[in-house]
Homo-oligomer: A and B are copies of this chain.
Amino acid sequence: MESGQCTGPSVVLAVDIGGTTVKGSVFVEGVELSPGRTVPTFKGSLGAFDAVLAMVSGLARTARALGHEPTAIGAGTPGLVDTRAGLVCYASNLGWTNLPLGQLLEERVGVPALIDHDARTAARAEMAVRPALQDFVFIPIGTGVSGAVVTAGKTVIGARGQAGELGHVPTMPNGRPCSCGQFGCLEAYASASAVLAGYIAAGGTADSAEEVAALVGTDALADEAWSEAVNALAKGIIMLTATLDPAEIIIGGGLSAAGPVLLDPLREKVGNLLGWRDSPAISTSHAGPRAGLIGAALLGTTVQSSFSHTSQGSP
């Protein structure tokens, strides 16, 4: 890294890696340069890593074409992520095992890169829009169920950087099998794909969990699939409340678009089960569906300043 960059504007290439799409955008001093772009994660025989590399290279070209030399990359990714080592230890949806994503992105663009779990990057965006919220758990629900735990204003990383794997919290002993090898995981009941699969297995016809959500109240099979998801999620929230005493549980990801159809029964169920203490507030994301990308940009700003420190020789 050249020393002149330390005092120049921050130009962050932000990437939000998902199981279906990879989103990216360029942020100059925190302001988004363009509307950003979205590409499919998997295209023909190409893997997810090809899509990410192409995205990062494209963003770098865009930035340079407009006269902004990139200063950092910030990327959110699903899976077990060791942030400090820049390593994706395991991401089943992406087919990655021990991928040194941070280093590979740095080599491609020639600027420092910091990666983090996608739920934690999204939680960064939540904290940015609601700075007074110090204790919360952010639970993005899409193809899978993930999580970011924030206590006293700090994101919990864990000993190996792998905190927040809420999808694999057991909620039903001897319950449905999960891809992780356990049974009864939260993800096996409350993910969008589990809601859809549950509805179809019961004899319903739908193409997405959103369709199932839209049928709640008018279709008994949809009610059943939905209530299994709500019950499992309520158990997870009770566990989180007893363990961490959060002020708020924030549901994000695709399933949160269901709004009151999700929140109303969830609040009721949690309130009923938590008779022994106050319930946390339960809400949907305030940062919106682009929280992951905005959080990746915020992460990239962190990279830059920490690398600046290093290059100046101070701790």
Q: Tell whether, in the assembled complex, residue A152 and residue B162 are in contact, meaning their CB atoms are under 8 Å apart.
A: no
A162 to B151, CA, bound (A): 12
User: Which B residues are in CB contact (< 8 Å) with A247?
Assistant: 159-160
User: Which B residues are in CB contact (< 8 Å) with A156?
Assistant: 151-152, 244-245
User: Which B residues are in CB contact (< 8 Å) with A180?
Assistant: 275-276
Central interface residue in A147, A152, A156, A275, by most chain B CB within 10 Å: A156
Q: Closest residue of chain B to A181, judged by CB?
A: B275
The interface-forming segment of A104-112, A168-176, A205-213 is A168-176
| Secondary structure call for the A interface | loop
User: Which B residues are in CB contact (< 8 Å) with A157?
Assistant: 151-152, 245
User: Which B residues are in CB contact (< 8 Å) with A277?
Assistant: 80, 90, 162, 165
User: Which B residues are in CB contact (< 8 Å) with A273?
Assistant: 170, 182
Minimum CB–CB distance for A170 against chain B, Å: 6
A164 to B181, CA, bound (A): 28
Query: How many copies of this chain are found per oligomer?
Result: 2
Q: Closest residue of chain B to A135, judged by CB?
A: B159
The interface-forming segment of A234-242, A260-268, A299-307 is A234-242
Q: Tell whether, in the assembled complex, residue A242 and residue B169 are in contact, meaning their CB atoms are under 8 Å apart.
A: yes
| Number of chain A interface residues as a range | 35 or more
Query: Is residue A158 within 8 Å, beta carbon to beta carbon, of the partner chain?
Result: yes
Query: Is residue A283 within 8 Å, beta carbon to beta carbon, of the partner chain?
Result: no
Q: Closest residue of chain B to A184, judged by CB?
A: B173
Given A235-B170, A276-B181, also A243-B135 (CB < 8 A): no
User: Which B residues are in CB contact (< 8 Å) with A127?
Assistant: none
Residue from B151, B159, B181 in contact with A246 in the complex, judged by beta carbons closer than 8 Å? B159
Residue from B147, B151, B275 in contact with A158 in the complex, judged by beta carbons closer than 8 Å? B151
Query: Is residue A288 within 8 Å, beta carbon to beta carbon, of the partner chain?
Result: no
Q: Tell whether, in the assembled complex, residue A280 and residue B159 are in contact, meaning their CB atoms are under 8 Å apart.
A: yes
Minimum CB–CB distance for A248 against chain B, Å: 8
Other than the known A170-B238, A182-B275, what 16 A-B pairs have Cβ atoms closer than 8 Å?
A: A90-B276, A90-B277, A134-B159, A151-B154, A151-B156, A154-B154, A158-B245, A164-B243, A164-B245, A165-B242, A167-B242, A169-B238, A169-B243, A181-B275, A181-B276, A243-B243
* Pairs A-B, 3 closest by C-beta atoms: A158-B245, A159-B247, A180-B276
Q: List 30 contacting pairs A-B, 8 Å CB cutoff, sorted by A.
A: A80-B277, A134-B159, A147-B243, A151-B156, A151-B158, A152-B154, A152-B156, A154-B154, A156-B245, A158-B244, A158-B246, A160-B247, A161-B245, A162-B245, A163-B244, A163-B245, A165-B277, A166-B242, A166-B243, A167-B242, A169-B238, A170-B239, A170-B273, A173-B235, A180-B276, A181-B275, A181-B276, A182-B276, A243-B243, A243-B244
Which residues of A are at the interface with B, using a C-beta cutoff of 8 A? 80, 90, 134-135, 147, 149, 151-152, 154, 156-173, 180-182, 235, 238-240, 242-248, 273, 275-278, 280
